Amino acid sequence: MKKKLVFIDGSAGTTGLQVSSRLFRRTDIRLISLSEEDRKSEQKRASIMQEADVTILCLPDSAAIRAVEKVADKDIRIIDASSAHRTADGWVYGFAELSPDQSQKIAEANLVSNAGCYASGFIALSRPLVENGFIAPDQTLIAPAVSGYSGGGKNMISSMKKGSLPPHFDYALSLSHKHIPEMIMHSGLQVAPLFMPSVGMFEQGMLVRLAIPVSHFSRTVTIHDVHEMYEEAYRDHQMIRVCGLDEAVSLQHSGQLSPDGLAGKDGLEIFCFNNPETQQFLIIARLDNLGKGAAGAAVQNLNIMLGCSPNTGLNWDY
């Protein structure tokens, strides 16, 4: 069998290194690269992108835009792991669980934009709620979240390890964040969520939460209704696990859900909690910000584009 050629542009960055680690042992793929000197040549970069079956861009937004512009007139397949093209015309959104036909769209696409890490958790929770009429599209969802510091790239990793940042901090206090446009577009919502991201003193992992008072639902629902809805939504999707209500009850008794519980894993878990007395619901997505939130998702999209099983080479088995 002829090996597929994959070029990772930005292979020395945080996401690029994680993608490489998932692919370098694969017998069906050969990674191709440029020398350090040739990487500075836009002509040689464009040439190797044409040689590759798929190019994965692990670059800052501005560099990803320039890389795509240089080959805009070529028949080239690209996965962009930056946030540059997540709401752009002509790009397929790289969250295979988005809809029943999303995997097919990814399989047929030339241009696929990886979903953002926070957005992956948020959309996994919110889209089924909107699609099934549990939440109105004009409802403002409340979404606190926490990520490991690796999401901030090499500079934040270095700063955390030096102790020059606090052990936990909120950010995006202007109530704007670069993931919000894709959160709105791909969730079915018509308004921005009240999104509150934070960073904790752990390297990899993420919790994205929806805090929902009963008054925010469009109709009367129970925790069993919500749980069954998620089970049905993700029944045929290998990379998402909807945890049982008995597991949620056990966690309620222990009072702890660790955000780094899926560090090194490439799937996503959904937990459903509620308090019958106060009629409040808490729905949580747990994932690795560098797994299903970045590199794992890129490899999942690559597998789909190459016609492989979506979880080939990924660390996820439940």
Q: What confidence score (pLDDT) does residue 43 get?
A: 87
Check whether residue 103 and residue 124 sit in a common domain.
no
Q: Does residue 58 carry a catalytic annotation?
A: no
pLDDT of residue 235: 96
Residue 70 structural domain? 4-114+294-306
Contact 290, 39 (CB under 8 A): no
**304, 280 contact by CB (below 8 A):** no
Helix (H/G/I), strand (E/B), else coil: 150: helix
What pLDDT is attached to residue 318?
66
For residue 313, tell me if it sits in a domain: no
Question: Is residue 172 included in any domain, yes or no?
Answer: yes
Q: State how far the Cα of 68 lies from the Cα of 64, in Å rounded to an integer.
A: 6
| Structural domain count, the chain | 2
283, two tokens: 């729905």
Residue 145 lies in a domain: yes
CATH number of the domain residue 172 falls in: 3.30.360.10
Task: Mark whether 58 and 123 lie in a shared domain.
Answer: no
Q: What is the pLDDT of residue 122?
A: 98
Classify residue 317: in a domain, yes or no: no
Q: Which of 117, 243, 272, 308 is catalytic?
A: 117
Is residue 220 located within the same domain as residue 299?
no
**267 & 187 share domain:** yes
C-alpha span between 102 and 233 (Å, rounded): 13
User: Does some domain include residue 318?
Assistant: no
pLDDT of 159 reads 86
Residue at 174 is within a domain = yes
- pLDDT mean values, one per 10 residues, the chain (318 residues): 91 92 94 85 90 96 94 93 96 97 98 98 98 97 96 83 88 92 97 96 96 96 97 96 94 90 97 93 98 98 96 89
